Amino acid sequence: MLAGPTASGKSAAALRLAERFGLDIVSADSMQVYVGMDVGTAKPSAEERARVHHHLVDVVTPAEPFSVADYVRAAEAAIGSVLAEGRSALVTGGTGFYLRALRFGLPTVPPADPEAQAPLWRLVEAGRLEDLIEELAAAAPQDAARAERNPRRVVRSLEVLRATGKPPSAYPHLPPRYEYDMAVLDPPAEPLAERIEDRARRMFTAGLMSEVRALLARYPQQPTALQGIGYKEVAAHLRGEITEAEALEAVVVASRQYAKRQRTWFRREPDARTLHGFGDSLGEVLEVWARAVLAR
C-alpha cells in the first residue's frame, strides 16, 4: 500500500513503481470510483491506464451508492484476480477509511437503510452537515474523527447510531483477506499547500466547470458525489451562489483542510512506514521499499 495526502505525488509514484516492477494498481480513492468524475478527482488518464492496469476506477455512476463494504469486496476481488495471474498489486490512494478497512477488516455493522438515511441526506442538502457532525461527535468522537467530515460517512454513522444505539466503531471486524505492507508519504506542510493550490487552478483550467455542469444535467440527484471537494464548490457557483474566483478559493481551502486531516489520520496508521517527502522526490527510497516487500 502507498498512501498519503492529496497532492503528495502518490499517484505518479505508484505509476512509476507499477511500471518498474510489473504491478497492477488498485485505487483507494472514494471519488475515483465514479464514472464521469475525472478532472476533479485527478483520475489517472487514459494513457496512464493503458500503461498500467488500474482497478477500482470508474466502477459506478454518481447516482449509485458505493459503501466502504462495496469497496473492500471489489478491491479484494481485484487483488485476488491479480495474484491468480501471478502478479502483485499496489493499493494506492488517500481514503484512509478504505485503506484501514482493507488492512484490518470491515466492521459487522447492519446493512445500509436508504429510508433511514433519507432525512439525514435532506439535512446535508440543506447545509446542516455541521449539525450532524456535532451530533455524531457528542455520541461517538472516534467515529466522527474517522468520518473525516465526509457526508456519506457521517450519514452512515448516524444512521447506525440512531437505529441501534451503537456507533459503527462498536461493532467487531471481519478478518481481512490479505496482509499488507504500507508506506505513507508525509511531505512538508507549506510546499504541500502550494501544490494543492496549483492543482486546484489546473483543474479549473482543465475543464472542471464543464464536468460539473454535465454531471448536474445527467445526474440531478447525486448527493454523495456532489459533496466531493471541487464538485460542491463549483455546483454552488453554477447555481449563482458564489463567483468563480470564490469557488476556486473554496476548493483550495477545503483541499488544504482535507490534506491536514489525511496527514493526521495516516500518522496514526499502525505499522506503516512513514516517508518524509513527495512521491516524485522519493523515487529510489520507494523502489527500495517495494523491492524489499516483493522479495518476501
In angstroms, the CA 24 to CA 32 distance is 16
Alpha helices in 22-168 (DSSP H): 46-51, 68-84, 96-104, 114-125, 129-139, 141-147, 151-164
Say whether pLDDT at 222 is over 70. no
Q: How confident is the model over 132-159, as pLDDT tens digits? A: 999 999 999 999 988 888 888 899 999 9
Cell 504541500 maps to which residue? 192
In angstroms, the CA 38 to CA 76 distance is 24
The pLDDT assigned to 294 comes to 95
DSSP strands (E only) in the chain: 2-3, 24-27, 54-55, 89-93, 182-185, 272-275
pLDDT category of residue 224 using cuts at 50, 70 and 90: low
In angstroms, the CA 59 to CA 98 distance is 15
How, if at all, do strands 24-27 and 2-3 pair? unpaired
In angstroms, the CA 152 to CA 132 distance is 11
What b/e string do you get for 221-257 counting C-beta neighbours within 10 Å, with b at 16 or more?
ebbbbbbbbbbbbbbbbeeeebeeeebbebbbebbbe
The grid coordinates listed for 119 are 432525512
Q: How confident is the model over 2-56, as pLDDT tens digits? A: 999 999 999 999 999 999 999 999 999 999 999 999 999 999 999 999 999 999 9
Q: How confident is the model over 96-128, as pLDDT tens digits? A: 999 999 999 988 888 889 899 999 999 998 999
This prediction's pTM: 0.84
What does pLDDT average to over the chain?
94
Helix (H) / strand (E) element for 20: namely helix 10-21
For the chain, list the domains and their CATH numbers. 2-106+173-294 (3.40.50.300), 108-172 (1.10.20.140)
Nearest to 259 by CA among 161, 167, 184: 184
Q: Which long-range contacts (CB under 8 A, 24 or more apart) does 82-88 make?
A: 82/24, 82/26, 82/55, 87/22, 87/23, 87/24, 88/21, 88/22, 88/23, 88/24, 88/294
